[in-house]
Amino acid sequence: MGFFDKILGKEQEGDAPDLEEYLDEREGDIINPPADFYVKRVDLRNEGDAALALKELAEKNIIILNVKPIVNQPKRLKTLIGKLKANADKINGDIALLTTELIILTPSKVLIVKSKKQKKKL
């Protein structure tokens, strides 16, 4: 980035925009009534966090599960994800991988459209 670019405020190519400034960070207030359902983020660190995710799922909330805190414990992670998947199946909910560190859990009657990876053509 050149000297004049800094002065004029031009962004350098490749800089990621700060999306938080564009997103409405509205929290509950007196004017807007509470929602019927919510999308909530849960950081998965232990069995208690898995239980919290299941409790929120039972209340018909959609859960974005962050598994980064436990990713270094693959056996424990696999066990907890298996428990969450079994419970989601039991209530006719769904579970899917969003990124390598984020999983989405949905309550009953909310299904996730999953796409299969395309094979590369030669």
Question: Residue 26: inside a domain, yes or no?
Answer: no
**pLDDT of 15-64, one tens digit each?**
667 767 766 665 555 566 788 899 999 999 999 999 999 999 999 999 99
pLDDT for residue 74: 94
pLDDT greater than 90 at residue 96: yes
Q: 3-class DSSP state for residue 56?
A: helix
Of the pLDDT bands very low, low, confident and very high (cuts 50, 70, 90), residue 115 is confident
| Domain count within the chain | 1
42 within domain boundaries: yes
Q: Name the pTM for this structure.
A: 0.70
CB atoms within 10 A of CB 63: 25
In a domain, 22, yes or no: no
The residue range of the domain holding 72 is 34-110
Give the 3-state secondary structure of residue 68.
helix
CATH code at 70?
Answer: 3.30.110.150
The b/e string for 86-110 (b: 16+ C-beta within 10 A; e otherwise) is ebbeeeebbbeeeeeeebbbbbeee
Amino acid at 63: I
Is residue 19 included in any domain, yes or no?
no
* End-to-end Cα spacing for the chain: 40
In a domain, 121, yes or no: no
Return the beta strands (E) in the chain as ranges: 39-43, 62-66, 94-97, 102-106
Which residues are CB-neighbours of 102 under 8 A, at least 6 positions away? 64, 65, 66, 67
Task: Please list, in sequence order, all residues whose beta carbon lies within 8 angstroms of the beta carbon of residue 108, skipping any fewer than 6 positions away.
Answer: 60, 91, 92, 93
Least confident of 3-17, 24-38, 90-104, 105-119: 3-17
